[in-house]
Amino acid sequence: MRHLRYLVAAVAIAVFPLVSPNPYFINLAQDAAIVAIGAIGLNILLGLSGQLSLGQAGFLALGAYGSGVLSTNHGWPLWATLPVSLLLSAVAGGVIGLVALRTRTHYLAMVTLAFGYIVEILSQRWVGITGGSMGLIGVPQLNFGDFGNGATYFFWAVAAALLLVQMMNDYVMRSRFGRSLHAIKESESFALTVGIDAARWRSLVFVVSAVTAGLSGFFFAHQAGYVSSDAFGLDRSIALLIAVVIGGLGSAYGPLLGAVILVMLNQLTAGLYEVSFYIFGGILLVVMLFFPAGAVGAVQRLFRRRSSAVPSSADVPAKSAQPTSATVPAAASASPSDAPILELHEVTKSYSGVVAVSAVSLKVMPGTVHAVIGPNGAGKSTLINVISGLYQPDSGTIRFLGRDITRLKPHRRANLGLTRTFQNLQLIGTLTVAENVMLGLQRGRSFVPGWLHWLVSDSEERADRAEATRLLRYFNIERLADSLPGDLPYGHRKLCELARALAQNPTMLFLDEPIAGLNEGEALDIMAKIRGLKALGVTVLLVEHNMSFVMELSDTVTVLDYGRKIGEGAPAVVKRDPVVIAAYLGTEDA
């Protein structure tokens, strides 16, 4: 299917110049391809990882000048200037990517805006190198030495590059890389706890967007044989953004479609230069208000309306509460022993003068269900975040499987088998239920080998999908695999999150209010599932407000109040402890 699509695209690229009625259309197609290459990178950056760049023209300029200057002033051949100019953009992208780790949202947009301005001003003023606004004249054209057929050859080259970039994009969108970026966009702290190194990914994706912008700039420089600083103003960054938004933010073919629409609009409004900004602004407004998913979304909606066979959550059959032992997930092997699997020693955490957790020591024994309870404000949330690594304790140590993890980053803890769920569900709304579960399967090849393998076969994706399906079957929600989490009843969303936690192959499962918001039947179902996991050797650390559930399920209960441990023991003992009763109900003298 995918191979056929690329083959059709390749044939279309080969044939287009031959059937084009005149060179004008070939030229337009070149323009569209140049825009599309840059837009694809911006779409991955903004649409997937949620980072807005208003400085793509800066990367574009680096690609264009890098190759333009080396080939014009120093006589380098284009096959040598291409990698150098891409490297230049990549380095700039890496630097901005590092800055992106310290700034977020609109602050990041301001940083990229500033970067774009700096590059623009440099290219204007550094006349000795760039020629300024007079331009770099006599840049070698990419025509393979044939002026008659030059336009055709150029189109073939740029379109082939576009096809390659699109194939890279498709891999990102359909693999764990795209899913990870969706997760980072939705919540970085969540991404960390499923083992995704969010910082690395956020800066890498900047490099990717910079390289595609650089490639776009390379073709731009060698299309007309003339590079002027006027070409790299803010309006070019905005134009890329418009192409991405009009096409459909975050969709695989949105940038391509958006680039074609943008180039056509440019032609239609060429005679109306004075009002063209109004026209673009108006179109952008209409798209954002009525077609938030862009042109791709509008087309999809049209098709979906025709075929009404979309599964809805309304026809979900009543679920059977019985776990089928045949579909139980692979056992996480935790050999039972006397050594605690998780050990906190005198852990203290305070913020702005308030001690939230004070010298808490805790031992969780392997293969047990261990609950942490306490009244509001007791420090449970802080303790959870300290154990999963989202907060650093001020003092004390945390050992997991005998190893000191006090200073370990959350994604590393996740990869060690310390898996958590969240009180307010962290499901990625833009991914299907199955894809959400696949997020937990953080494994597989690194990017380039993964891409090359994917070009031949998608066996890796299929294996992940089969594994996700197996886990969903364990929770009796296999039929919901292709639904979006937002369409599911709350109880099923909870099950989906548990399935994802299991996908991470936990040694210790850390459940933050697993039955909050569930009805009694659903709660019993979850209880049965947790018992099943315990039987498989998974250690469970539980924070939950429903006391009957906690007392029924736990082997050991630890009670916190005002950040201190005030009680610990078997449920029956803790329930009768006067100190615990006073913590919950107070005393009559307040």
Under the rule (CB under 8 A), what is the footprint of another protein? 375-377, 488-491, 493, 513, 516-517, 545-552, 571, 574-575, 580-581, 584-590
In the complex, the smallest distance separating the C-beta of residue 314 from another protein, rounded to whole angstroms, is 13
Catalogue the E-assigned strands of 269-368.
Answer: 342-351, 354-364
In the complex, the smallest distance separating the C-beta of residue 292 from another protein, rounded to whole angstroms, is 22
In the complex, the smallest distance separating the C-beta of residue 353 from another protein, rounded to whole angstroms, is 11
Strand partners, 357: 349
**Of 248 and 563, CB closest to another protein:** 563
**Of 365 and 551, CB closest to another protein:** 551
What is the gyration radius of the CA atoms in the chain, in angstroms? 28
Reduce the DSSP state of residue 326 to 3 states and report it.
helix
In the complex, the smallest distance separating the C-beta of residue 418 from another protein, rounded to whole angstroms, is 25
What φ, ψ does residue 353 adopt, rounded to 5°? 85, -15
In the complex, the smallest distance separating the C-beta of residue 516 from another protein, rounded to whole angstroms, is 6
Which residues, at least 6 apart from 59, have a Cβ–Cβ distance to it below 8 Å? 89, 92, 93, 209, 210, 211, 213, 214, 217
In the complex, the smallest distance separating the C-beta of residue 427 from another protein, rounded to whole angstroms, is 12
DSSP 17-38: HHH-SSHHHHHHHHHHHHHHHH
Amino acid identity of residue 226, one-letter, is: Y
In the complex, the smallest distance separating the C-beta of residue 297 from another protein, rounded to whole angstroms, is 25
Q: At what angle do helices 294-306 and 254-268 cross, to 10 degrees?
A: 110
Is the CB of residue 210 less than 8 Å from the CB of residue 96? Answer: yes
**Of 2 and 576, CB closest to another protein:** 576
In the complex, the smallest distance separating the C-beta of residue 585 from another protein, rounded to whole angstroms, is 4
Rounded Cα distance between 328 and 529, Å, is 10
Is the CB of residue 281 less than 8 Å from the CB of residue 68? Answer: no
Rounded Cα distance between 190 and 156, Å, is 44
**Of 516 and 566, CB closest to another protein:** 516
**Of 138 and 377, CB closest to another protein:** 377
In the complex, the smallest distance separating the C-beta of residue 570 from another protein, rounded to whole angstroms, is 13
In the complex, the smallest distance separating the C-beta of residue 568 from another protein, rounded to whole angstroms, is 14
**Of 361 and 381, CB closest to another protein:** 381
Helix (DSSP H) and strand (DSSP E) numbers for the chain:
24, 12
**Of 479 and 575, CB closest to another protein:** 575
Q: How many Cα atoms sit within 13 Å of 164 on the Cβ side?
A: 12
**Of 126 and 351, CB closest to another protein:** 351
Closest to 323 (Cα-Cα) out of 487, 537, 499, 183: 499
In the complex, the smallest distance separating the C-beta of residue 581 from another protein, rounded to whole angstroms, is 6
Rounded Cα distance between 219 and 537, Å, is 58
**Of 321 and 516, CB closest to another protein:** 516
**Of 287 and 384, CB closest to another protein:** 384
13-22 contact pairs (CB < 8 A, 24+): 13/155, 13/156, 13/159, 13/160, 13/163, 14/156, 16/155, 16/159, 17/151, 17/152, 17/155, 17/156, 18/152
Rounded Cα distance between 543 and 57, Å, is 49
Closest to 557 (Cα-Cα) out of 544, 103, 229: 544
Q: How many Cα atoms sit within 13 Å of 192 on the Cβ side?
A: 16
**Of 174 and 319, CB closest to another protein:** 319
Which residues, at least 6 apart from 108, have a Cβ–Cβ distance to it below 8 Å? 51, 52, 53, 99, 100
In the complex, the smallest distance separating the C-beta of residue 506 from another protein, rounded to whole angstroms, is 25
**Of 189 and 381, CB closest to another protein:** 381
Burial of 353 (0-12, 13-18, 19+ CB in 10 A): exposed
In the complex, the smallest distance separating the C-beta of residue 198 from another protein, rounded to whole angstroms, is 26
**Of 236 and 492, CB closest to another protein:** 492
Rounded Cα distance between 443 and 29, Å, is 39
What φ, ψ does residue 170 adopt, rounded to 5°? -65, -40
In the complex, the smallest distance separating the C-beta of residue 495 from another protein, rounded to whole angstroms, is 12
Rounded Cα distance between 106 and 12, Å, is 40
**Of 364 and 574, CB closest to another protein:** 574
Q: Measuring CA to CA, how many Å separate 412 from each of 176, 194, 384, 556?
A: 18, 9, 16, 27
Is the CB of residue 504 less than 8 Å from the CB of residue 414? Answer: yes
